[in-house]
Amino acid sequence: MKQVAVLGATGSIGTSALDVIARHPDRLRANVLAAGSNVDALIALCGMHRPRHAVIAEESGFAALRDGLRAAGLDTEAHAGAAALDAMVAGDACDTVVAAIVGAAGLSSTLAAACAGKRLLLANKESLVLAGELLTATAHDAGAEIVPIDSEHNAIFQCLPSAHARDGLQRIFLTASGGPFRGKRRDELVDVTPAQAVAHPKWSMGPKISVDSATLMNKGLEVIEAHHLFGLPAARISVLVHPQSLVHSLVEFVDGSTLAQLGLPDMRTALAVGFAWPERIASGVRGLDLLQHGRLDFETPDLDAFPCLRLAYQALEAGGTAPAVLNAANEVAVSAFLQGRVAFLDIPALVEDSLAALPPTPADTLDVLRAADAQARRHVEQAIARMTSHG
Ligand code: NAD
Ligand code: MG
């Protein structure tokens, strides 16, 4: 029986993970559930999944969580705070961790899982962008198995099962749906609203990654993620826009063979792979009917309308603290866009300005990376404050 900790249990990936777990009571148990601040949603999940432990990241949520669990007649133990979460992840309440917190807020618990040698179902791509070298080295040293839960990286993982195959790897192609604004010119993106940006044509996801998909920053973060997971330089990682979102990515080998992984756009497939690998278990996702879908199209991304992808390649090439700055600037800009404080095209502008203002330094420790993250957040907040006071 695998004892699973689901971090970000109330989110989109967390919900999908719990759906897969509930299909396999004989082999998977949700023993730890963790969420950011929504105590009521966490208690409701505890009622359904009966975990041994529940953790709310916001310290002030502790009493409400403890009392709510008791009032619901549950014997789940309540915990609160980031340190409690890290300790729970590292301890023996779980052997498998679904890292599905959104943003750099997930770094500490993801690192704790890697350091404790857990099987790590890694959805929290921002932790790889921010501290990829450190995270992969920590996992390697502790014997933690990372199974990527980004659909593209999970596809590549499935196409690259052995170290021998990795030796013959020539290049990878990440596919991108193109998001809700695919085909639009830059001048048509001036007035787009948060509601339009989060209305993704193919995937149902949390708000932050939905906006990232609309700007193509999501694909940029994924290029950096792929670099760390599969050890390829930026020049050997390409992006193809594929509007049907059925081919999740492709791997080209030195012998001219290209392998792809296909399936309906539903994250439960990647999660089932992560839980059972190298075995296969049911995920609730049905098989692909290619006759019904008819065709598969591929296009080059438009870097003029969607400069975030270009900025991510630039940050990866620059190295050091640049990816941490890119990620932090983007998180603050996206959050401001969702709050209606800045426009859609301000997101790439703010990220580009941060990369220019905060030149990269070597990123050899976690402290340096955290400082770069904090500095970029301050920089963007100040830039937004200036924009809104003038505007
Ligand atoms: P979401 O917004 O739906 O859920 C985020 C979860 O994180 C929630 O449970 C929230 O309570 C929790 N959380 C937020 N801040 C926290 C904090 N400070 N401490 C602890 N918990 C906190 O997001 P999502 O769409 O599920 O995405 C989660 C992660 O998975 C992101 O990194 C995203 O890029 C990645 N991902 C998501 C999808 C998808 O289909 N949704 C696909 C690929 C990758
Ligand atoms: Mg993805």
**Where does the chain hold its CATH 1.10.1740.10 domain(s)?**
319-391
Top CATH class, 2-148 = alpha beta
Is it the case that residue 163 has pLDDT exceeding 80? no
Would you place residue 161 in the very low, low, confident or very high pLDDT band (cuts 50, 70, 90)?
confident
- Ligand 1, atom 16: closest residue by C-alpha: 36
% of the chain residues with pLDDT over 70: 99
Q: Which residues line ligand 1 (CB under 6 A)?
A: 8-14, 35-36, 38, 57, 100-102, 105, 123-126, 150, 203, 205-206, 208-209, 267
pLDDT of residue 162: 75
- Protein residue whose Cα sits closest to atom 22 of ligand 1: 36
Tokens 């089932």 identify what position?
272
Look at domain 319-391 and name its CATH class.
mainly alpha
Give the pLDDT band (50/70/90) at residue 388. Answer: confident
Rounded mean pLDDT of the chain?
96
Q: How many CB atoms lie within 10 A of CB 384?
A: 20
Ligand 2 (ion): residues with CB under 5 Å are: 150-152
Angle between helices 12-22 and 39-49 (to 10 degrees): 10
Using CA atoms, how far apart are residues 262 and 269, in angstroms rounded to an integer? 10
Residue with CA nearest ligand 1 atom 19: 36
Q: How confident is the model at residue 391 (pLDDT cuts 50, 70, 90)?
A: low
| pLDDT tens, position by position, 98-129 | 999 999 999 999 999 999 999 999 999 999 99
Which residues belong to CATH 3.40.50.720 in the chain? 2-148
**What pLDDT digit, counting tens, does each position of 336-349 carry?**
999 999 999 999 99
Q: Residue 101's pLDDT is what?
A: 98
Q: What is the pLDDT of residues 260-307, one digit of tens each?
A: 999 999 999 999 999 999 999 999 999 999 999 889 999 999 999 999
